[in-house]
Amino acid sequence: MEALQEVLTEPQQKEAIEMSGSAALLEALIVEGVSTIFGYPGGAIMPIYDALYDYKEKLNHILVRHEQGGIHAGQGYARSSGQVGVVFATSGPGATNLVTGLADAQIDSTPLVCITGQVFAHLLGTDAFQETDVINITTPVTKWNYQITDAEEIPEIIAKAFYIARTGRPGPVLIDITKNAQIQKFAYKGYTPCNHIRSYRPKPIVRPQFIEQAAQLINEAKKPFILWGQGVLLGNAEQEFKAFIEKAGIPAAWTILGVGAIPTDHPLNVGMLGMHGNYGPNVLTNECDVLIAIGMRFDDRVTGRLDKYAKQAKIIHLDIDPAEIDKNVQTTVAVWGDCKETLPLLTQLVEEKQHTDWVNKFYDFADRENEAVIDAELHPTEGEMTMGEVVDQLNRLTNGDAVIVTDVGQHQMVGCRYAKFNHTRSNITSGGLGTMGFALPAAIGAKFGAQDKTVVAIIGDGGFQMTLQELGTIMQSGVDVKILILNNRFLGMVRQWQELFNERRYSFVDIQSPDFVQVAKGYGIAGRCVNERSELQDALKEMLNHQGSFLLEVMVTKENNVFPMVPQGCSVSEIRLK
Amino acid sequence: MSTQETAHQGKQEFNITVYTENQIGLLNRIAIIFTRRKINIDSLNTSPSEIDSIHRFTIVIDETEEVVRKVCRQIEKQVEVLKVYYHTNADVIWQEMALYKVSAEVIAEKAG
């Protein structure tokens, strides 16, 4: 309600100022608190870039090397800062290059406002140069999109865009602005942020009877188990979440987008869910009596085979998005609402308890996993280096305080499993879409969003080659990003599946790479490559202590598999340790 | 057509009513929620509703209730959608209208 008061009492600007649509857009961004824009100019967005020339002091524009890099940087910025990421691109190919990032942001609920230039309104539908129907192309992968053809619309639409992107379940918004609207002068009467749209309810109404029912189930439970996801982070509800699990004494496991809400070392943090998650959380999902899902959406990589998923348990699902309730897993009690509001209500009603024997069961499984998998992965004494030991050595140097950005594949699973997190918003990865090439540009954005943090991008040799042009962005912007390439000379995750399920028929997974250190050198970025275990710690120290960006390539064992693993089509309790 | 006639694999005809703002592009945004799940739209009508400035979509599909419920929630979360309801044929009152083309000469003869 405070926001509403603020807006209503904001003095209306009495006299209108004549202003171009482009300038009005930039004014709007400033009022919205935007400081950094990731973008790439082109013909149809030139008037906006011309206006930007006069706003260089107020708006920091980062010139990327490809629009996909721009949008992933915007995502990284949004994820590390909690603010809306802003991206500029031109029409046609500029706009279509945003599509992968939009899909990624949509599935991972990342707030973005993307501005695309468009051909003059009178040319729409004529196959004009660099015209593409960006509104229709992006409809399935945006929370909302809109085409502006008249400058008068700009203040109101940009206000709606930010409001929609950041409220409720966040998501990407795309605003397409025709060139005539960018140039057009109109009577600008000031900018009023939006705080209400008639047809849009960001948060469902919290219904106390469902909180009471949920609390009753929790209080009666002998073996309750919590699964939490990014909703806890997006709702800024980390403290509320911690208070809830500590009072109720319930073990809690995370999705890869939820990690960091409580520190890795918290005694009730029992680890990672899903296909490559920890042993205990997967097996005990099928043993708990009440399963409490908070701000997560039961992705198939978390649940495995649905008809054998937690069938013995009563399910409580807390989510801000009603469409997620009963989508994949049928709930016993659904608690609709923002977990920032619902968790404290639930905490009030749950009894203070300690499920010591039940929690110990998770620890027992952790011991078995340590023996069977983790010790060998993190502390090998001979042979080639493993991905896990690199992450473990990194933990020792960063103490879990760094922002870790991962790409997609084996290194991502290893990174999420073994990286230590003391802080929220410090694991940034492409979870839902699984976008290779995400990490390098996302790390650039993450650093702009968290300037005081060390940002380490852990990337495979395959994914790095998908967006390595963004080394140019690092060079020109001077952003300090540590790049850690775990090179196994394979597209490792696909190779792992081919080994396990396709009789080692290694079909097009043997990828060659350039000399990454030389490539970095070409961009003026310092680098080093290590082959020997004895050099690893020194090399990691050199990377972290280096002033500015640094690329460290670590040659790791070629044919290592990530375990545990829930094979596709299997139940979570059929998780394999080898 | 009765509900029984179309029922197969638990599917039946559902009438989905969507109340929305009148917005360019919303038709596509709603339609792709069906096409994404490979659901054929048997009938779709959009027009102003009895409430000023609010539009109504009436969509008919043949599906299971479980899928219809999920689809309706996904429609309802679209920014410009106010409310979504779904009903089986048995739930709603049907009115059928027919338009006949009659030769003017026949009418003239009878009148005469």
What interface predicted TM-score (ipTM) does this complex get? 0.92
Cβ separation A198–B69 shorter than 8 A? no
CA dist., res. A193 & res. A155, Å (int): 9
Q: Which domains does chain A have, with CATH numbers?
A: 2-188 (3.40.50.970), 208-362 (3.40.50.1220), 379-555 (3.40.50.970)
Q: Measure the CA angle with vertex A131, ends A130 and A133; round to 5°.
A: 140
Question: Minimal Cα distance from A323: which residue of B?
Answer: B73
Q: Which domain holds residue B21?
A: 3-111
CA A246 to chain centre: 26
- Residue B59 has which token pair? 């969509």
The confidence score (pLDDT) of residue A9 equals 41
B→A interface, C-beta within 8 Å: 20-21, 24-25, 28-29, 32, 36, 69-70, 73-74, 76-77, 79-82
Per-residue pLDDT for B93 more than 90? no
d(CA A317, CA A295): 8
Q: Residue A335 and residue A217: Cα distance in Å, rounded?
A: 13
A167-207, pLDDT tens digit by residue? 999 999 999 999 999 999 999 999 999 999 999 999 999 99
User: What's the total number of domains in chain B?
Assistant: 1
> Are A198 and B82 a contacting pair at CB < 8 A?
yes
What whole-number distance in Å separates Cα of residue A401 and Cα of residue A259? 13
Q: State pLDDT tens for residues A270-298.
A: 999 999 999 999 999 999 999 999 999 99
Contacts of B21 in chain A (CB under 8 A): 198-199
Decide if A136 and B20 are in contact by the 8 Å CB cutoff: no
Residue B3 has pLDDT above 80, yes or no: no
Question: CA-CA distances (angstroms) from residue A276 to A159, A280, A304, A488?
Answer: 41, 12, 11, 19
Q: How many CB pairs under 8 A join A and B?
A: 41
Q: In sequence order, what E strands does A48-130 have?
A: 60-63, 85-89, 112-118
Q: How far apart (Å, rounded) are the C-alpha atoms in residues A205 and A138? A: 30
Partners of residue B25 in chain A, C-beta under 8 Å: 135-136, 139, 145-147
- On chain A, the residues whose CB falls within 8 A of the CB of B69 are 326
| Separation CA A426–CA A420 (nearest Å) | 10
A323 to B73: CB separation less than 8 angstroms, yes or no: yes
State the average pLDDT over residues B38-61: 96
3-state secondary structure A211-257: HHHHHHHHHHCCCEEEEECCHHHHCCCHHHHHHHHHHHCCCEEECCC
Please tell me the predicted confidence (pLDDT) of residue B102: 81
CATH number at residue B69: 3.30.70.260
Residue of A124, A142, A199, A328 to mutate when probing chain B, most B C-beta within 10 A: A199
Band (pLDDT 50/70/90 cuts) for residue B96 is confident
Sequential pLDDT tens for chain A (578 residues): 334 434 444 445 568 999 999 999 999 999 999 999 999 999 999 999 999 999 999 999 999 999 999 999 999 999 999 999 999 999 999 999 999 999 999 999 999 999 999 999 999 999 999 999 999 999 999 999 999 999 999 999 999 999 999 999 999 999 999 999 999 999 999 999 999 999 999 999 999 999 999 999 999 999 999 999 999 999 999 999 999 999 999 999 999 999 999 999 999 999 999 999 999 999 999 999 999 999 999 999 999 999 999 999 999 999 999 999 999 999 999 999 999 999 999 999 999 999 999 999 999 999 999 999 999 999 999 999 999 999 999 999 999 999 999 999 999 999 999 999 999 999 999 999 999 999 999 999 999 999 999 999 999 999 999 999 999 999 999 999 999 999 999 999 999 999 999 999 999 999 999 999 999 999 999 999 999 999 999 999 999 999 999 999 999 999 999 999 999 999 999 999 99
pLDDT computed for residue A4 by the predictor: 41
Tokens of B90: 């048995």
Query: Does residue A389 have an active-site annotation?
Result: no
Q: d(Cα A87, Cα A80) in Å, to the nearest integer?
A: 16
- Residue A522, CA atoms < 13 Å, CB-side half-sphere: 11
**Backbone φ and ψ of A575, nearest 5°:** -60, 135
Q: Which tokens is A285 given? A: 């999902």
Q: What is the radius of gyration, based on Cα positions, of chain A?
A: 24
Q: Are residues A281 and A273 in contact, defined by beta-carbon separation less than 8 angstroms?
A: yes
Please give the pLDDT value at position B98.
Answer: 87
Closest CB to A140 among B24, B32, B70: B32
Shortest CA distance from A144: residue in chain B: B79
Residue from B79, B81, B83, B84 whose CB has the most chain A CBs within 10 Å, to mutate? B79
Residue A505 CA to residue A497 CA, distance in Å, equals 10
pLDDT in tens, B40-49: 999 999 999 9
Global pTM reads 0.94
Order across the sheet with B41-48: list the strands. Answer: B41-48, B55-63, B12-20, B81-88
| Closest partner CB to B81 (pick from A147, A199, A327) | A199
